[in-house]
């Protein structure tokens, strides 16, 4: 039976947070309005730090204008000179790239560029299992055996001091191009092109490894190429397509120069993708024209990474370097299979880990070990950390050694925690959110005890994680015009996320579980209904009932079905209507009364004609 219209008993999974109110400066406001942006969007941009008119101009302007002079990179002059000498002398080069999507795309950028300059260039991608991160001895040996006198690293090498010294001892110079943390002692390389060097004057240090490679390519093509303008137009687009994929795969923020790279690359990917990307997209059933950064992050990047996790990353490098469609199709098929295997293996590892956790209260941290493939333990740890809302460690048994991968949750620093257990490890390293280690199997129990203790001491007081929203609007104001308005933020990604909107004043008219652990909703507003889908939220199918009055935190999307296009809410979270201060204020304002406006009756609907949209962040 249908319940009366009432406030839902649903509990939001997140604490909804709106940005502090921010006003664009008057010049920016005028500039934005002139360019057809709404005041609402300009406020949203201001809340994201795009406040002044120069910021806005580069946000809206041609992407090329957002690229910085590559000559500003540290050691730019040294690189140019050394590569010029290599070309004059007919030296042979080796490009060494990391095995993930960032390293592989960066490697392709530099191999393509050096070959274009007429230099004999081979490439090398290390094995994740046998060689791990950093310049490998095996690659140095290969260079020596093949008479290659210069190695150029991509997305790695900053911490490879010993291997670089070993190369130098054999008469091989190393140019490092990288974006990883710079230790206090610099490696003995010919050049260290890393925007994080303390002496770097480079304007935007947020480049990914492939972004640094793109800048080095620009530098080389401008300094040594035939065309005076260097990598412009056609060439720049082809290389930016690769860098855009590496940047998004590495979760580098899509702001500043990265945003320019993403815009240039996405344009290329949509209209004239290289054979490798065209084949990957075709195999995944995605039309290039519909590609966005989500496609890059969820379709392209996992397939490139799957090669290094399951088979050999070299397969992905070959795909990126392919200029033949038939060859690309064969390699894309290989990656598709590797990706499916990667997905199955991750599921299996997560299921086995969950089974091991059954029985007994969940400890402050999740730590599991098993005979699992090294390539997926990081993915499994990420899933477990997300699911349980606490730090997770998944360790693969490799003979007498455990190789572990750790993922954290907000407020618990893995780098600090591992440091505190440092005496137990053979080696370890990482960041606050993700880290790894190698441990003699006999020390597992001691490590597990100490790590769990650290996690217990660090349990954050506040329960639910935060969800950052951009706007709160009465449901009646959510329409295609708003969707188009928000599209001006594209391409969205980390650092420039898809805007999340609190859609306020809805009634659930239909709720059902959908295949794959999702929940489908039909939500009524004053005159019509909105369709909603909540991905990975099977809980909503049981916690919501028809007739519930709710507000939802959602991303706006357009869904095409049977020739019709309709607005769809991609729902991240659901709360009882008016249960948050911002949504309560909005309802009260829309109802024109001081009361909450959520009781059964006619005042609850946030009317269509209401102009009561609060600026994001307004608090009663
Ligand atoms: Mn990287």
Largest CA distance in the chain: 85
Dihedral Cα 336, 341, 347, 351, nearest 10 deg: 170
Task: Please report the pLDDT score of residue 461 as a whole number.
Answer: 54
Q: Ligand 1 centroid to 326 CA: how many Å?
A: 29
Distance CA(305)–CA(301), nearest Å, equals: 6
CA of 215 to the centre of ligand 1 (A): 14
Q: 103 C-alpha vs ligand 1 centroid, how far in Å?
A: 6
Ligand 1 centroid to Cα of residue 259, in Å, is: 16
SS3 of 491-516: CCECCECCCCEEEEEEEEEEEEEECC
Pick among 3.40.50.300, 1.10.10.10, 3.40.50.10420, 3.10.310.30: CATH of 359-457 = 3.10.310.30
- For the stretch 525-553, pLDDT in tens is 988 999 999 998 999 999 999 999 999 99
The angle at the Cα of 618, spanning 617 to 620, to the nearest 5 degrees, equals 135
Which architecture characterizes domain 6-18+469-591 according to CATH?
A: Beta Barrel (2.40)
Residue 62 alpha carbon to ligand 1 centre in Å: 26
Measured in Å, residue 208 CA sits from the centre of ligand 1 at 5
Confidence at residue 506, expressed as pLDDT on a 0 to 100 scale: 95
pLDDT at 231: 64
Sequence ranges of the chain with CATH classification 3.90.1640.30: 70-231
Query: Contact at 8 Å (CB) between 264 and 236?
Result: yes
Question: Any idea which residue has 């406030």 for tokens?
Answer: 7
Distance 123 CA to ligand 1 centre (A): 17
Q: Is the CB of residue 73 less than 8 Å from the CB of residue 177?
A: no
Can you tell me the distance from the alpha carbon of 140 to that of 126, in angstroms, rounded to the nearest whole number?
11
Global pTM reads 0.84
Query: Ligand 1 centre from 246 Cα, in Å?
Result: 7
Over range 82-110, report the average pLDDT. 97
Where in the sequence of the chain do the CATH 2.40.50.460 domains occur? 6-18+469-591
**How close is the Cα of 211 to the center of ligand 1, in Å?**
9
Is the pLDDT at 609 greater than 70, yes or no?
no
Q: Which two tokens stand for residue 620?
A: 């009663």
- The Å distance, Cα 610 to ligand 1 centre, comes to 48
Tell me the CA end-to-end span of the chain in Å, nearest whole number: 37
Question: 194 CA distance to ligand 1 centroid (A)?
Answer: 12
Quick: pLDDT tens for 397-441: 998 999 999 999 888 889 889 999 999 999 888 778 888 999 999
148-198 pLDDT per residue, tens:
999 999 999 998 999 999 999 999 999 999 998 888 899 999 999 999 999
Burial class (CB in 10 A: 0-12, 13-18, 19+), 526: middle
Query: For 324-351, what is the mean pLDDT?
Result: 96
Delimit the CATH 3.10.310.30 region(s) of the chain.
359-457
Lowest mean pLDDT among 264-268, 276-280, 310-314: 310-314
Separation between Cα atoms, residue 523 and residue 90, nearest integer Å: 68
Q: What is the torsional sign of CA 181, 184, 185, 189?
A: positive
C-alpha 251 – ligand 1 centre gap (Å): 9
- Give the Å distance between the CA of 595 and the centre of ligand 1: 53
3-state SS string over 6-35? EECCCCCCCEEECCCCCCCCHHHHHHHHHC
| CATH number corresponding to 70-231 | 3.90.1640.30
Q: How many helices (H) and strands (E) does the chain have?
A: 21, 19
**Ligand 1 centroid vs 213 CA: distance in angstroms?**
11
Q: Which residues surround ligand 1, an ion (CB under 5 A)?
A: 102, 155, 209, 250
């Amino acid at each position: 039976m249908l319940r009366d219209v009432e406030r839902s008993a649903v509990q939001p999974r997140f604490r909804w947070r709106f940005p502090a109110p921010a006003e664009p400066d008057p010049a920016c406001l005028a500039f934005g309005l002139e360019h057809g942006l709404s005041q609402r969007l300009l406020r949203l941009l201001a809340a994201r730090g795009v406040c002044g008119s120069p910021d806005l101009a580069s946000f809206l302007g041609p992407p090329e204008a957002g690229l910085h002079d590559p000559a500003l990179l540290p050691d730019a002059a040294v690189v140019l000179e050394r590569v010029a000498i290599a070309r004059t002398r007919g030296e042979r080069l080796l490009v060494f790239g990391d095995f993930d999507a960032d390293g592989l795309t960066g490697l392709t950028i530099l191999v393509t560029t050096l070959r274009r300059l007429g230099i004999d260039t081979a490439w090398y991608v290390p094995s994740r299992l046998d060689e791990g991160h950093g310049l490998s001895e095996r690659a140095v040996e290969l260079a020596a055996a093949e008479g290659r006198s210069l190695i150029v690293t991509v997305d790695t090498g900053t911490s490879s001091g010993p291997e670089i010294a070993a190369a130098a001892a054999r008469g091989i110079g190393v140019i490092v191009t990288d974006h990883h943390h710079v230790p206090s002692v610099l490696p003995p390389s010919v050049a260290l092109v890393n925007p994080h060097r303390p002496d770097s004057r480079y304007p935007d240090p947020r480049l990914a490894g492939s972004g640094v490679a793109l800048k080095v390519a620009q530098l080389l093509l401008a300094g040594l190429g035939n065309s005076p303008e260097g990598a412009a137009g056609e060439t720049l687009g082809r290389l930016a397509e690769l860098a855009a994929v590496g940047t998004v795969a590495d979760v580098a923020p899509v702001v500043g120069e990265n945003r320019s790279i993403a815009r240039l690359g996405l344009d290329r990917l949509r209209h004239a993708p290289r054979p490798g990307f065209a084949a990957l997209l075709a195999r995944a059933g995605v039309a290039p024209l519909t590609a966005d950064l989500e496609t890059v992050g969820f379709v392209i990047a996992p397939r490139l990474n799957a090669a290094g996790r399951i088979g050999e990353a070299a397969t992905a490098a070959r795909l990126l370097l392919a200029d033949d469609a038939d060859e690309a199709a064969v390699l894309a098929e290989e990656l598709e299979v590797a990706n499916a295997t990667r997905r199955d293996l991750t599921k299996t590892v997560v299921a086995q880990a969950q089974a091991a956790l059954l029985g007994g209260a969940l400890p402050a941290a999740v730590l599991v070990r098993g005979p699992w493939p090294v390539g997926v333990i990081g993915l499994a740890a990420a899933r477990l950390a997300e699911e349980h809302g606490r730090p997770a460690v998944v360790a693969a048994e490799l003979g007498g050694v455990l190789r572990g991968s750790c993922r954290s949750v907000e407020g618990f620093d893995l780098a600090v925690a591992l440091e505190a257990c440092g005496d137990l490890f053979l080696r370890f390293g990482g960041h606050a959110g993700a880290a790894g280690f190698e441990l003699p199997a006999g020390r597992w129990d001691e490590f597990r005890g100490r790590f769990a203790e650290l996690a217990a001491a660090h349990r954050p007081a506040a329960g639910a994680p935060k969800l950052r929203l951009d706007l709160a609007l009465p449901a009646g104001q959510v329409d295609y015009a708003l969707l188009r308005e928000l599209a001006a933020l594209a391409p969205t990604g980390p650092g420039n996320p898809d805007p999340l909107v609190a859609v306020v004043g809805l009634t659930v008219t239909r709720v059902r579980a959908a295949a794959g652990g999702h929940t489908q909703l039909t939500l009524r507003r004053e005159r019509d209904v909105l369709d909603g889908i909540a991905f990975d939220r099977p809980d909503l199918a049981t916690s919501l009932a028809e007739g519930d009055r709710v507000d939802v935190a959602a991303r706006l999307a357009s869904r095409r079905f049977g020739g019709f296009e309709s607005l769809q809410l991609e729902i991240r979270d659901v709360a009882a209507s008016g249960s948050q201060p911002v949504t309560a204020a909005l309802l009260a304002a829309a109802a024109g009364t001081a009361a909450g406006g959520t009781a059964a009756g006619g005042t609850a609907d946030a009317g269509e004609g209401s102009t009561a949209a609060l600026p994001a962040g307004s608090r009663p």
